[in-house]
């Protein structure tokens, strides 16, 4: 994290230690934000905790809008939407900006940004009645994704069980290929049995530096077995998976938003997914770390549903979409899919995001989930 002075504006540059990214900085400002005083350049994912430090140190304030420069790579948009969600949860206003040309940026946040309305009623009316494991705490960057365990139990019938990450990291350093990935899967499968779990989420980045492999294949295999398994200790993502699993029986692909266009065309990506969702796949390395085993999958084109339950359990996004293309770029998580939604969906995701991760399932199921 560093700070630059650009055109009399204090610009805070946020980048994860795992990335070495750059972003062209604006030489001129659009009229709509030339009076901005608070600007952050979100170069990569994993920078949300650095944003919180700026808030706590008084270098950023919620008393005026916070502007975010966003790129279409390295999980920049994913981190920005998590940050924007946190800002809105705490009564502030955030504006997303992307490069218009090599010298300037423009807003991609809809002009009218309403105060976020919250409901007193749960978004999900029927209980899930299950026991879910949280292996390690949620990742530090999931700042807008903190779930109240007691509320989850009372409103969803979900018992959330904290499990020390040491139950996985005690494996020690394993083989960096498939053999090591199999050992991580076996350990997670033992944890599911030991704690009588119906689903699990793993603080997977912690095992990169301790076990020297990834949880990508382990989570993929659990999902293939009908045990919803989420990445990064993300509890709202896991709750969304369990909802989709119980209501539709479909396999779930946890995805990051990478690019969202005004016409509703969107690029989503992640390094793990159930192989049963793929028409083909190859094994590769994990994007951020470049180590271990991850999945580049190709998904069948056609009908899908994009789903997300908010951390406070008060909002549920469930929208029918079309998967229109698969792609591969080296500067994104390994499985990358383009989906076509409506312009209204694109605006909603940019104006009132439900944090970062969403869930993609086969078929049109929006009516069954709402």
Which pairing describes strands 252-260 and 358-362: parallel, antiparallel, or unpaired?
A: antiparallel
Q: How many angstroms separate the CA atoms of 309 and 304, rounded? A: 17
Beta strand residue intervals within the chain, DSSP E: 2-6, 9-14, 28-29, 38-42, 66-70, 94-101, 104-107, 130-135, 158-163, 199-202, 229-231, 252-260, 265-270, 280-284, 294-298, 302-309, 316-327, 335-340, 358-362
Residue 9 in this model has a pLDDT that exceeds 80:
no
Residue 33 in this model has a pLDDT that exceeds 60:
no
Q: How many angstroms separate the CA atoms of 260 and 267, rounded? A: 7
Of 85, 45, 52, 70, the C-alpha closest to 317 is 85
Q: How many angstroms separate the CA atoms of 358 and 317, rounded? A: 9
pLDDT at 5: 45
pTM of the full predicted structure? 0.93
Tokens of 48: 């949300």
pLDDT at 120: 79
Q: Tens digit of pLDDT for each residue in 258-268?
A: 999 999 999 99
Q: Tens digit of pLDDT for each residue in 190-235?
A: 999 999 999 999 999 999 999 999 999 999 999 999 999 999 999 9
Q: How many angstroms separate the CA atoms of 76 and 14, rounded? A: 10
What is the arithmetic mean of pLDDT over 274-282? Answer: 98
pLDDT at 27: 43
DSSP β-bridge partners for residue 252: 361
Residue 62 in this model has a pLDDT that exceeds 50:
yes
Least confident of 15-19, 183-187, 265-269: 15-19
pLDDT at 261: 94
The residue that leads in pLDDT, 107 or 351, is: 351
Residue 130 in this model has a pLDDT that exceeds 70:
yes
Please enumerate in sequence order all residues whose Cβ is within 8 A of that of 329, keeping only pairs 6 or more positions apart, or say none: 73, 336
What is the arithmetic mean of pLDDT over 83-94? Answer: 96
What is the arithmetic mean of pLDDT over 64-88? Answer: 94
Residue 34 in this model has a pLDDT that exceeds 80:
no
What is the arithmetic mean of pLDDT over 14-43? Answer: 67
Q: How many angstroms separate the CA atoms of 164 and 259, rounded? A: 35
Q: Tens digit of pLDDT for each residue in 321-330?
A: 999 999 999 9
């Amino acid at each position: 994290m560093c700070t630059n002075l650009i055109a009399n504006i204090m610009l805070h540059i946020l980048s994860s230690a795992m990335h070495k990214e750059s972003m062209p900085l604006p030489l001129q400002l659009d009229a709509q934000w030339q009076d901005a005083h608070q600007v952050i350049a979100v170069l990569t994912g994993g920078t949300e905790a650095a944003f919180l430090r700026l808030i706590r140190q008084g270098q950023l304030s919620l008393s005026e809008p916070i502007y975010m420069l966003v790129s279409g790579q390295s999980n920049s948009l994913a981190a920005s939407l998590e940050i924007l969600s946190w800002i809105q949860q705490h009564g502030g206003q955030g504006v997303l900006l992307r490069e218009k040309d090599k010298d300037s940026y423009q807003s991609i946040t809809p002009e009218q940004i309403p105060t976020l309305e919250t409901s007193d009623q749960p978004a999900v009316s029927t209980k899930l009645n299950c026991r879910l494991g949280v292996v390690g705490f949620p990742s530090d960057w999931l700042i807008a994704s903190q779930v109240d365990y007691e509320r989850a139990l009372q409103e969803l019938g979900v018992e959330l069980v904290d499990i020390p990450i040491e139950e996985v990291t005690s494996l020690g350093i394993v083989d960096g290929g498939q053999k090591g990935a199999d050992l991580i899967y076996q350990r997670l499968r033992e944890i599911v049995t030991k704690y009588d779990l119906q689903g699990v989420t793993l603080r997977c980045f912690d095992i990169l530096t301790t076990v020297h492999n990834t949880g990508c294949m382990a989570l993929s295999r659990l999902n293939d077995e009908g045990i919803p398994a989420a990445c990064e200790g993300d509890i709202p993502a896991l709750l969304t998976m369990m909802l989709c699993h119980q209501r539709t029986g479909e396999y779930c692909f946890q995805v990051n938003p990478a690019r969202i266009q005004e016409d509703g065309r969107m690029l989503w990506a992640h390094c793990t997914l159930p192989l049963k969702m793929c028409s083909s796949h190859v094994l590769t390395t994990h994007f951020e770390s470049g180590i271990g085993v991850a999945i580049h999958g190709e998904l069948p084109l056609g009908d899908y549903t994009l789903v997300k339950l908010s951390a406070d359990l008060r909002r549920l996004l469930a929208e029918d979409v079309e998967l229109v293309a698969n792609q591969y770029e080296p500067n994104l998580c390994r499985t990358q899919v383009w989906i076509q939604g409506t312009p209204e969906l694109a605006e909603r995701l940019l104006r009132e995001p439900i944090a970062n991760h969403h869930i993609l399932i086969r078929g049109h199921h929006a009516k069954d989930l709402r």
